[in-house]
């Protein structure tokens, strides 16, 4: 019997992840991080590598909607082959284009992602995220691989706005838990992840959720496994436009979060900036080559107006 509503294998895994057993989650984690190896493994070999039985692997394949392991493996092979061919596909699409045509094409694709994000993002979830971040005792931020710059950007501005921010930055999940050991119900965590999803980030979010912290995710889809442990989901489109991920839309969402928080806490932001400028001056950190905008310029140059009445 053919599979109905055929999705790619990673989407299938994401949709079923929340109901998986510990062993099934271990298989998923291995496929996320080592799909290039998993594609060549028998059910017995995959089970031995992950530390589960062969029958667990077979049941796993059936659990996510396949008739058996061979069908699962064929779909995984198709998905991996599609990834491998991405460079050839880009070559076919842009091979005869001029540099300016490539520039225009990529920028246009990013504009479409921004428009799609505007249409899909939940304004209520956005407002909730702003309140959660501002009211939390400590905010933990995590993003790895290509999402690491997004996490660092958010961490930088959160420190300006409110302080008590911890950027989780490690290659070891055990070290991540060590950095989060004091997280509790008064705290919040922001997990940022896009395909290929990070199991480290997912585990950190699960840990935060287990400790009753409020969890926010910035991810790409309602099918993302990052939604499993978050109480507030901010969705931003991030497709492959080339051999790299486009992070324009998620960065814009983060930028919007920063602006919204600044407008809610303007005096605190001014105070932080003034203290920082005094530190720069007192310790001669810079040579007065930056614009002094604290008193003379608007703090945020956005055309926002308060409603009258």
Run means of pLDDT, 10 residues per run, the chain, 309 residues: 53 81 88 84 92 93 91 87 59 60 75 82 90 93 88 89 86 79 93 83 89 92 82 81 69 90 79 70 59 52 54
Architecture of domain 9-84: Orthogonal Bundle (1.10)
Classify domain 109-264 at the CATH topology level.
Rossmann fold (3.40.50)
The answer to whether 239 and 246 are in contact (CB under 8 A) is yes
Q: Which of 77, 14, 91, 6 is closest to 41 using CA atoms?
A: 77
3-state class of 148 per DSSP? helix
pTM over 0.85: no
Per 3-state DSSP, what percentage of the chain is helix, strand, and coil (rounded to 5)?
A: 60, 10, 35
What's the pLDDT at 1? 33
What's the pLDDT at 302? 56
What's the pLDDT at 87? 52
Q: Which of 89, 186, 177, 94 is closest to 134 using CA atoms?
A: 186
Q: What distance separates the 2 farthest-apart alpha carbons in the chain?
A: 74
* CATH 1.10.10.10 in the chain, residue ranges: 9-84
* CATH 3.40.50.10490 in the chain, residue ranges: 109-264
């Amino acid at each position: 019997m053919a599979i109905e509503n055929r999705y790619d294998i990673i989407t299938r895994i994401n949709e079923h992840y929340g109901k998986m057993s510990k062993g099934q989650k271990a298989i998923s984690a291995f496929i996320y991080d080592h799909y290039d190896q998993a594609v060549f493994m028998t059910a017995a070999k995959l089970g031995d590598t992950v530390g589960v039985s062969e029958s667990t692997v077979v049941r796993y394949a059936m659990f996510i909607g396949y008739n058996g392991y061979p069908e699962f493996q064929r779909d995984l092979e198709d998905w991996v082959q599609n990834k491998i061919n991405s460079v050839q596909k880009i070559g076919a699409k842009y091979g005869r284009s001029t540099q300016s045509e490539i520039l225009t094409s990529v920028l246009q694709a990013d504009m479409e992602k921004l428009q799609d994000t505007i249409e899909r993002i939940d304004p209520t979830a956005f407002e909730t995220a702003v309140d959660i971040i501002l009211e939390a005792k400590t905010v933990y931020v995590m993003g790895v691989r290509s999402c690491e710059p997004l996490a660092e950007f958010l961490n930088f501005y959160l420190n300006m706005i409110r302080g008590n921010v911890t950027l989780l930055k490690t290659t070891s999940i055990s070290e991540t838990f060590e950095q989060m050991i004091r997280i509790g119900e008064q705290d919040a965590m922001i997990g940022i992840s896009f395909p290929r999803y990070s199991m480290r980030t997912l585990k950190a979010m699960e840990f935060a959720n287990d400790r009753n912290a409020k969890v926010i995710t910035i991810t790409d889809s309602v099918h993302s496994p990052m939604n499993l442990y978050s109480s507030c989901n901010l969705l931003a489109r991030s497709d492959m436009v080339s051999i790299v991920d486009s992070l324009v839309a998620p960065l814009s969402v983060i930028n919007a979060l920063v602006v919204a928080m600044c407008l809610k806490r303007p005096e605190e932001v001014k105070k932080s900036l003034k203290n920082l400028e005094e530190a720069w001056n007192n310790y001669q950190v810079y040579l007065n080559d930056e614009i002094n905008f604290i008193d003379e310029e608007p703090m945020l140059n956005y055309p926002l107006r308060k409603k009258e009445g």
